[in-house]
Structure 1
């Protein structure tokens, strides 16, 4: 059995390499922040790459290098077992949904195991997944902005609900920013990371949101 570990981002990859958790087995990061910006139906199509590169402010060639090319390891001969490592927060769960949707889209038939982790990358639980149906779910959530009626994974359902709330123009994050007009950007970012852990957003996302909200209030 040929195992491949797919981790949510470079930071998790660095942590795993540091503690030797999956030593001797191939590891690749899924470098995205799918809760930010717009997307389209066909994952990793030319339209998708153009849309996501624009979201991240990088060239299309850089997006391919940073995100798409890493996933080519999935297609290596005999690669029939994927182990996906993702945190329970919204940021990671929307990335997970996108990855599962892509595996569904390409007709991946190998074994897929999900390992849920804490924000410190400690393993919480694991389960085996079937990827069929996740592309439809991805379209419902990220394109049509609706929560599917049946979601078997509780963290994924919670992540979807938080994502749709996050996309609401008057969400709790926006209200929190408006309620703290006198705090500096740096202090507000730190405060929000600690207050809204379930979203899993980082300083880049919060800084963008703070500047956007404050600019619209001027």
Structure 2
């Protein structure tokens, strides 16, 4: 009889699998590698130090919380040695970055194990918006039964994407992910495209997410910050961010708001939104990373959909 290990994209999916009484052990991957600096050596002491430094600085995560919430679960993962490892990750950027990192870890530490992948179907409106949490037990069982087995080439490919994501230049990511149409990672291309749009635009110095926040404020009648965050969560298609991440983004853009109760843009915010003012210098930081690359060392050129190295 085969033994199973399920690695999930978060606590919600873990609880769903427990309710489903699915066979095997379950590990929750509690990280948000789509934000902050990352290095290729997933699970190493240096890797976790860099991650803690970022989470502590950006989200005020305490050492105790980091150890209890993330490190203990990772150490539990290290003890598992089942025949088949089943990965449960959604289509969005948040999950796809975590997915390639986990596959990279498995390539190194679980060589030869059967690795399978369960993915939602984003042509289904409910699955697109809510991921695994928007699926009935019967639908979830169908997805599980139709899981894809990753070949060695698939594992190598995911590991290569992770290496590029962690490199100090995102330029190779612009093309390499487009040359593997047979890949089972069917949502990776959209996720990487979304990642590249997180670098500041040439037009006004804000990235896609930051511009979306300003646009949402300018076109909506929002009573407070919670209203704004709800709107952003409802309408995001590919990022998979949570309320804490959007709250952090709003805080970074605070000088572009004249009020958060009700939510209104300042005069500068309106000018930035309409590309009449470039806010690159005001936002620029040498400590802001996307993967292995410094966020403000590259500009996204909307006219060509290309990155420009500064």
- Fold in common (TM above 0.5): yes
Q: Is the 8 A contact 2:190 2:238 kept in 1?
A: no
Which is greater in Rg?
2
For the pair 1:188 / 2:228, whether they are aligned, the reply is: yes
Partner of 2:17: 16
What secondary structure is seen at the aligned counterpart in 2 of 1:174? helix
Task: Give the aligned partner of residue 140 of structure 1.
Answer: 164
- How far apart are residue 95 of structure 1 and its match? 0.9
Maintained 8 Å contact 2:37/2:54: yes
| TM-score where L is the length of structure 2 | 0.62
Matches within 5 A, 1:25-36: 25-36=24-35
Q: For 2:86 and 2:244, how far apart are their aligned partners in 1?
A: 28
Distance 2:25 2:166 in 1: 30
Question: How far off is 1:74 after superposition?
Answer: 4.6
Per-residue CA shift, 1:20-58, capped at 9, x if unaligned? 241x42111010111111111211222211111122223
Tell me if 1:67 matches 2:70.
Answer: yes
Where do residues 118-133 of structure 1 align in structure 2 (5 Å cutoff)?
A: 118=127, 119-121=130-132, 122=135, 123=140, 124=143, 126-129=147-150, 130=152, 131-133=155-157
The CA deviation at 1:120 is 4.1
Any unmatched runs of 5+ in structure 1? none
Deviations 1:60-104 (A, max 9, x none): 564344224324455547512100011111111111111111112
Match of 2:46, SS?
Answer: helix
Cα root mean square deviation, aligned: 2.5
CA separation of 1:77/1:41 partners in 2, compared to 1, >3 Å: closer, same or farther? closer
SS in 2 for 1:83: strand
**In the superposition, relative to structure 1, how do residues 77 and 13 fare at CA in structure 2: closer, same or farther (>3 Å)?**
closer
Distance 2:211 2:72 in 1: 39
Cα distance change on mapping 1:77 and 1:97 into 2, 3 Å: closer
Q: Gaps (5+ residues) in structure 2?
A: 121-126, 257-267, 270-310
Shift of 1:108: 2.4
Match of 1:162 among 185, 194, 203: 194
Q: Which residue of 2 aligns with 1:52?
A: 51
Distance across 2 between alignment mates of 1:77 and 1:190:
38
SS at match of 2:238: helix
Shift of 1:105: 2.9
